A and B are shown apart, each in its own frame.
Chain A
């Protein structure tokens, strides 16, 4: 985007509104991204914390167990006196971890008890109320002055004595605290990073959308459809969108060009009959003031006006069909019935000329616009009858395969010279050899345009002097759109 572009306030307003939407979309995506990350972190934290906690707890328990086993061994070796002596001599704060030790009698009354001074605030008398348990269930003591607990496990030395050993959870709490603090810090950092990364990635992803917006805006304000958005990668969905958008612009461009061309053609084709109309009136006015002559001129003018109208209508049809803006009211039509009705109508004209029209039809239903299809077949029949001399014949056949229907109109008429075969579909073509045949010279262009709008094809075979065969192939599956 060029930053030195000067924008009018109106353009700026138009520019800012869509951009606001884009940023909001970006932000939303980045937030979703962060939220997912946050939930993931929380789950990871819980799992890690639990594992760490269990491990540390098992570790503490094994320390308690080791102490219990030590005292138990003393008891086995020297009885209660030895163990009491041991307890009294023990330096409780020495060794790797401080501990608490207690021996109680069978009634759970304390016989000997020692603990480090720092644990004075703990209410050890509570142990006399709780029946001592084994190593599988710990008793927890807490103190209002300590931010840690004491965990106490016990073992029955004999039916008369119970030994209990306790240790603090202080070191465990410390480790878990550090873990918690670090993990949350790192997570916050990562979430921030994920948010920024999300914002960055979505901004990048939506860059083509921004370009699209600007392009559409510039097309709306300038009306120019020749600009195209650069395609960075056609493999992503947005890349595809850009490709399709460009294709759509191509199509609109082509449509506008074709409509402009056909407008020129219509104007050109109408000039001739308009000149004739003008000429007729002028000649009448320049001539003698004669009511009969005036009347004749007016009649001619009326006929000429009708021709102009018919021509205009037909030209509009051709232009609409060729530029692809013709609205078709597609419906399933019984092709054989439709041809039979038209053949019956054209027989009026053919009979007058001594030309026979016969049909050879198979019943088939095709998806088509009824008015347009009648126009196609009517024009082919009209041509065939017009260019077939007295005593000749016209045969209309309809055949169908799984995928298409073929209509062919064959006459025993004058035929078309080989070098003119390609030109019969162009506007205002008329057979050179028969200038007296009247018509607009638009019929076959209309036939071709309508058939092609229906997704079909037209073709012609002709032998001069022997006859012509016009063929229309229409698909049996309706075209999309």
Chain B
């Protein structure tokens, strides 16, 4: 999997570059819209991460030019503006995605993976497995070490989110917007409560804990 980063801020670029490489991607980095355009036009990338504010041609113009030239590479747009302008929403409708700065790296990773998943027409799995935990997506059934576990709808939604992104640290904001679909900060610890309930059902009575808290960042599902 090959990803292009088009970002002029060296620290942010380095941070994305290092993270994606660690997650197993091959990463290229350019600093301007013009370079980004020619890289994406001439090389086949699986996805691109593009900042809106770039010297010279800005990110959105670059994407618009790519699209008129028929380049379909899925793109994650990085924006420093919180009130997302309608142009970005337009790109989102076209299958691409956007992320507002500042963001946690895990959120970027989850979104890039989702973009690639959407773009490649792979067979959708009917069963997810992490360690001895398994989820049947068709029957909506979860079991650990063969023992069925009864989950409430929100708990199921959260676990599915975890299992689709194993080893990725999910922040509270990500969980909030994924499970409840709320794009605002509800100033409540509802995510912690939900995670702790899920943890009770998944990990209680097992030596190997699957749900881990990463202080200051979020939660992660990983065996061991």
| A interface residues (Cβ-Cβ under 8 A, vs B) | 298-303, 305-306, 309-310, 313-314, 316, 320, 327, 345-346, 348-349, 351-352, 371, 374-375, 378-379, 382, 385, 439-440, 443
> Which of B184, B194, B217 lies in contact with A378, CB distance below 8 A?
B184
Can you name the residue of chain B whose Cβ is closest to the Cβ of A309? B102
B147 proximal to A (CB < 8 A): no
> A299-B216, A314-B185, A375-B184 are known contacts. Are A305 and B190 too (CB-CB below 8 A)?
no
> A302-B217, A348-B193 are known contacts. Are A327 and B187 too (CB-CB below 8 A)?
no
B11 CB to nearest A CB, Å: 15
Which residues of B lie under 8 Å from residue A316 when comparing CB positions? 82
User: In the docked arrangement, what's the CA distance between A327 and B89, Å?
Assistant: 15
User: In the docked arrangement, what's the CA distance between A50 and B109, Å?
Assistant: 96
User: In the docked arrangement, what's the CA distance between A371 and B217, Å?
Assistant: 25
Interface size class of B (residues with CB under 8 A): 20 to 34
> A298-B216, A309-B102 are known contacts. Are A349 and B189 too (CB-CB below 8 A)?
yes
User: In the docked arrangement, what's the CA distance between A91 and B187, Å?
Assistant: 125
User: In the docked arrangement, what's the CA distance between A348 and B190, Å?
Assistant: 6
User: In the docked arrangement, what's the CA distance between A122 and B194, Å?
Assistant: 124
Tell me whether B186 and A378 are in contact (CB under 8 A).
yes
User: Chain B 108-146, CB within 8 Å of chain A: the 1/0 string?
Assistant: 000000000000000000000000000000000000000
B22 proximal to A (CB < 8 A): no
Which residues of B lie under 8 Å from residue A306 when comparing CB positions? 216
B43 proximal to A (CB < 8 A): no
A239 CB to nearest B CB, Å: 39
User: In the docked arrangement, what's the CA distance between A302 and B154, Å?
Assistant: 27
User: In the docked arrangement, what's the CA distance between A306 and B215, Å?
Assistant: 12
Name 4 extra pairs, CB < 8 A, besides A300-B216, A316-B82. Answer: A314-B185, A345-B182, A349-B189, A378-B186
| B interface residues (Cβ-Cβ under 8 A, vs A) | 82-83, 102, 154, 180, 182-190, 193-194, 197, 215-217
Tell me whether A310 and B185 are in contact (CB under 8 A).
yes
Tell me whether A348 and B194 are in contact (CB under 8 A).
yes
A453 CB to nearest B CB, Å: 14
Tell me whether A303 and B187 are in contact (CB under 8 A).
no
Tell me whether B194 and A439 are in contact (CB under 8 A).
no
B171 CB to nearest A CB, Å: 9
User: In the docked arrangement, what's the CA distance between A302 and B102, Å?
Assistant: 12
Tell me whether B188 and A346 are in contact (CB under 8 A).
yes
Which residues of A lie under 8 Å from residue B182 when comparing CB positions? 345, 374, 378
Tell me whether B184 and A327 are in contact (CB under 8 A).
no
Can you name the residue of chain A whose Cβ is closest to the Cβ of B173? A306
Tell me whether A303 and B184 are in contact (CB under 8 A).
no
User: In the docked arrangement, what's the CA distance between A300 and B83, Å?
Assistant: 28
> Which of A300, A310, A352 lies in contact with B193, CB distance below 8 A?
A352
Tell me whether A378 and B187 are in contact (CB under 8 A).
yes
> Which of A303, A345, A352, A440 lies in contact with B186, CB distance below 8 A?
A345
Can you name the residue of chain A whose Cβ is closest to the Cβ of B154? A348
User: In the docked arrangement, what's the CA distance between A308 and B173, Å?
Assistant: 14
B222 CB to nearest A CB, Å: 19
In the assembled complex, 25 residue pairs joining A and B whose CB atoms fall closer than 8 Å, in A order, are A298-B216, A299-B215, A300-B216, A301-B216, A302-B217, A303-B215, A305-B102, A310-B185, A310-B187, A314-B185, A316-B82, A320-B83, A345-B180, A345-B190, A349-B190, A351-B193, A352-B193, A374-B182, A378-B184, A378-B188, A379-B186, A382-B186, A382-B187, A385-B188, A440-B187
